[in-house]
């Protein structure tokens, strides 16, 4: 199976990066249009978020509460999942369990076939992106139509999403206009790039589909275990059309998306919209419980690496994530590379930890290094996930995996071991520092050998002092 010519690993869906991060980043960095689009969009949303977050005097308490609720849920995930299944079943819904992407896709394809449909409308959902559901449906001869505006732009552009919340963040409006003119059947050829005109074109296009679709597929932002209620937060209202009109509704949800009670939801009703779109409240919050009369409801509960993540004490807090994308918007690396460089549906700081957690580090070994550890993501995260510490933890896993795979140490491991050995012997260390003065002669040389060439490509090395600090101290430092 291929997606945009990229071979996908079937059992985990779109989680594995086909290229290393530095390779993929290289292309993005060279694209000035992309850099500008991303820079403008993230700067706007950063400012908006900062404004509405500053309005809440209890923001830090809300973050702590969100983290605590999620941790409590994860600690008793088995019990809450069973509770959810009971509640959904009692209210006429059917619950399916899926171990991985393949199982989830198979279940959904069978359900769509059973409904006799060859076309489905979709509510924007990361879980279905994660498992590559659209591709699986296409393989089964079923057309999936994204109804979220940004997701539709990506779909019509034969492109991949590059942001959790704004999948088409890498596109500007004139690019969107071109995509619509090229791909949207029946669009007005005089379409301008005015955002309202573009939205209106999409609305007309989608309206016809809503009315004819028999099956809708959604994800879920939250599920309330005590009530069996599913919940979707959105800004456009298109999701609500999908959730109410078709006769069959299929929801694919990661098993970590639970909260125990209605009361718990209150925290996230405040933190999610502020963190994601910079709004005080999100415009459309849809909730449904079981099946309504004349309709069918199926809930597919997806594992796909989540129980393995839960088993890792250092990694499990990644499952607190509510996919608000605040960490993406504040990340200086994401801002310059965009989402495609991360090679997974989860880009940015959370992607750099979540994708390797879900697939195992051996399948995404460069992602944990795609961060300068500046800490902006941790500060922004509404559920206080310590992403920098998790990145460091995953880096050690990558290094260990390499150690096991190779009998001789990698050059990097040899350098690190030698540095640590010397640093633990002050006399050797002092000699080493003195020797560094030799680099005075190479200072202006612009091409040092790898890995130092990455430095000299764009930066000059500092001019080392004539005398190290410790030599100076020994000579005269003790003298007051």
Partner 1 sequence: MRIAVFATCLVDGLFADVGKATIALLRRLGHDVDLPLEQTCCGQMHVNTGYPREALPLVRRYVDTFARYDAVVAPSGSCTGAIRHQHAELAGAAGDATLAEAAREVASRTFELSEFLVDRLGVTDVGAYFPHRVTYHPTCHSLRLLRVGDRPYRLLRAVRGIELVELPSADACCGFGGTFALKNGEVSTAMLADKMRCILDTGAGVCAAGDASCLMHIGGGLSRLQAGVRTVHLAEILASTESSAA
List of residues contacting partner 1 (CB under 8 A) = 21-22, 25-26, 29, 35, 332-333, 336-337, 368-376, 378-379, 392, 395-400, 412-413, 416-417, 419-420, 423-424, 426, 429-430, 432-433, 436, 451-452, 454-455, 457-462, 464-465, 467-470, 472-474, 477, 480
Give Dmax (Cα) for the chain. Answer: 91
Q: Which helix (H) or strand (E) holds 80?
A: helix 77-90
Per partner kind, with CB cut-offs from 5 to 8 A, the member of ligand SF4, partner 1, none near residue 78 is none
Q: Do residues 163 and 339 lie in contact, with contact meaning Cβ atoms separated by under 8 Å?
A: yes
Residue identified by tokens 């249009």 is 33
- φ, ψ of residue 217 in degrees (nearest 5): -125, 130
Contacts of residue 368, Cβ cutoff 8 Å, sequence gap at least 6:
352, 353, 356, 361, 391, 394, 395, 397, 398
Dist CA 14 CA 302 (whole Å): 14
Give the Å distances, CA to CA, from 221 to 108, 169, 258.
19, 21, 9
Which one of the spans 37-45, 46-54, 100-108, 324-332 is the region binding ligand SF4 (CB under 6 A)? Answer: 324-332
| By the rule CB under 6 A, 326 interacts with ligand SF4 | yes
Query: Which of 7, 51 has the CB closer to ligand SF4?
Result: 51
Dist CA 386 CA 375 (whole Å): 8
CB of 66 to ligand SF4, least distance (A): 8
Per partner kind, with CB cut-offs from 5 to 8 A, the member of ligand SF4, partner 1, none near residue 464 is partner 1
CB of 346 to partner 1, least distance (A): 18
Per partner kind, with CB cut-offs from 5 to 8 A, the member of ligand SF4, partner 1, none near residue 327 is ligand SF4
Binding to ligand SF4 (CB under 6 A): which residues in 221-260? none
CB of 164 to ligand SF4, least distance (A): 6
Q: Do residues 64 and 386 lie in contact, with contact meaning Cβ atoms separated by under 8 Å?
A: no
CB of 380 to partner 1, least distance (A): 11
Dist CA 422 CA 225 (whole Å): 56
CB of 241 to partner 1, least distance (A): 40
Per partner kind, with CB cut-offs from 5 to 8 A, the member of partner 1, ligand SF4, none near residue 64 is none
Dist CA 259 CA 439 (whole Å): 58
C-beta atoms surrounding 292 within 10 Å: 13
Per partner kind, with CB cut-offs from 5 to 8 A, the member of partner 1, ligand SF4, none near residue 430 is partner 1
Dist CA 148 CA 40 (whole Å): 22
CB of 434 to partner 1, least distance (A): 9
Which one of the spans 8-16, 286-294, 319-327, 410-418 is the region binding ligand SF4 (CB under 6 A)? Answer: 319-327
Dist CA 239 CA 151 (whole Å): 12
| By the rule CB under 6 A, 322 interacts with ligand SF4 | yes
CB of 445 to partner 1, least distance (A): 13
CB of 270 to ligand SF4, least distance (A): 14
What mask of x and - would describe binding to ligand SF4 in positions 373 to 412, judged by CB under 6 A?
-------xxxx-x---------------------------
Dist CA 438 CA 440 (whole Å): 5
DSSP 8-state symbol, 76: T
C-beta atoms surrounding 55 within 10 Å: 9
Query: Which of 260, 347 has the CB closer to ligand SF4?
Result: 347
Q: Which helix (H) or strand (E) holds 232?
A: strand 229-234
CB of 371 to ligand SF4, least distance (A): 13
Q: What is the DSSP string of 177-226?
A: HHHHHHHSTT--TT--S-HHHHHHHHHHHHHHHHHH-SEEEE--SEEETT
Query: Which of 289, 364 has the CB closer to partner 1?
Result: 364
Among 96, 171, 323, 340, binds ligand SF4 (CB under 6 A): 323
Query: Which of 84, 390 has the CB closer to ligand SF4?
Result: 390
Please report how many Cα atoms fall inside a 13 Å half-sphere around the Cα of residue 7, on the Cβ side: 2
| By the rule CB under 6 A, 67 interacts with ligand SF4 | no
| By the rule CB under 6 A, 350 interacts with ligand SF4 | yes
Per partner kind, with CB cut-offs from 5 to 8 A, the member of partner 1, ligand SF4, none near residue 104 is none
| By the rule CB under 6 A, 126 interacts with ligand SF4 | no
Q: Do residues 231 and 220 lie in contact, with contact meaning Cβ atoms separated by under 8 Å?
A: yes
- Residue 288's SS3 state is strand
Which residues bind to ligand SF4, rule: CB under 6 A?
275, 321-327, 350, 380-383, 385
């Amino acid at each position: 199976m291929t997606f945009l010519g990229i071979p996908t690993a079937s059992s985990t869906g779109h989680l594995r990066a086909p290229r290393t991060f530095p390779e993929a980043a290289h292309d993005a960095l060279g694209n000035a249009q992309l850099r500008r689009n991303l820079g403008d969009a993230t700067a706007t949303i950063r400012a908006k978020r900062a404004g509405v977050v500053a309005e809440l005097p209890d923001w830090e308490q809300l973050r702590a509460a969100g983290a605590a609720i999620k941790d409590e849920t994860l600690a008793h995930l088995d019990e809450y999942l069973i509770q959810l299944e009971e509640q959904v079943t009692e209210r006429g819904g059917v619950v399916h369990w899926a171990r991985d992407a393949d199982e989830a896709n198979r279940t959904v394809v069978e359900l769509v076939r059973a409904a006799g449909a060859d076309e489905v409308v979709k509510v924007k959902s990361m879980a279905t992106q994660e498992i590559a559901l659209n591709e699986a449906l296409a393989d089964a001869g079923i057309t999936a139509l994204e109804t979220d505006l940004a997701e539709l732009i990506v779909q019509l552009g034969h492109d991949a999403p590059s942001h959790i919340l704004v999948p088409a963040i890498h596109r500007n409006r004139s690019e969107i206009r071109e995509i619509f003119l090229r791909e949207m059947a029946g669009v007005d050829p005089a379409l301008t790039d005015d955002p309202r005109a573009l939205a209106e074109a999409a609305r007309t296009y989608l309206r016809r589909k809503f009315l004819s679709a028999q099956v809708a597929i959604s994800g879920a932002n939250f599920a309330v275990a005590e009530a069996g209620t599913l919940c979707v937060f959105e800004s456009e209202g298109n999701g609500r059309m999908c959730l109410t009109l078709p006769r069959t509704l299929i929801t694919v949800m990661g098993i970590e998306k639970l909260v125990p009670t209605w009361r718990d939801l209150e925290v996230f009703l405040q933190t999610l919209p502020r963190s994601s779109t910079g709004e005080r409240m999100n415009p459309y919050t849809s909730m449904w419980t079981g099946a309504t009369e004349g309709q069918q409801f199926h809930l597919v509960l997806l594992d796909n690496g989540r129980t393995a993540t839960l088993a890792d004490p250092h990694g499990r807090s990644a499952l607190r994530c509510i996919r608000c994308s605040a960490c993406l918007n504040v990340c200086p690396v994401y801002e310059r590379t965009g989402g495609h460089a991360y090679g997974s549906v989860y880009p940015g700081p959370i992607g750099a930890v979540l994708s390797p957690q879900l697939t195992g580090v051996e399948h995404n070994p460069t992602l944990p290094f795609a961060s300068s550890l500046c800490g902006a993501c941790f500060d922004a995260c509404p559920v206080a996930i310590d992403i920098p510490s998790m990145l460091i933890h995953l880096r050690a896993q990558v290094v260990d995996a390499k150690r096991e795979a190779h009998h001789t140490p990698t050059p990097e491991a040899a350098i690190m071991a030698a540095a640590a050995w010397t640093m633990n012997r002050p006399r050797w260390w002092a000699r080493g520092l003195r020797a560094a003065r030799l680099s005075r002669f190479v200072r202006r040389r612009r091409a040092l050998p790898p890995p130092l060439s990455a430095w000299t490509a764009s930066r000059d090395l500092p001019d080392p002092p004539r005398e190290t600090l410790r030599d100076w101290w020994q000579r005269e430092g003790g003298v007051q």
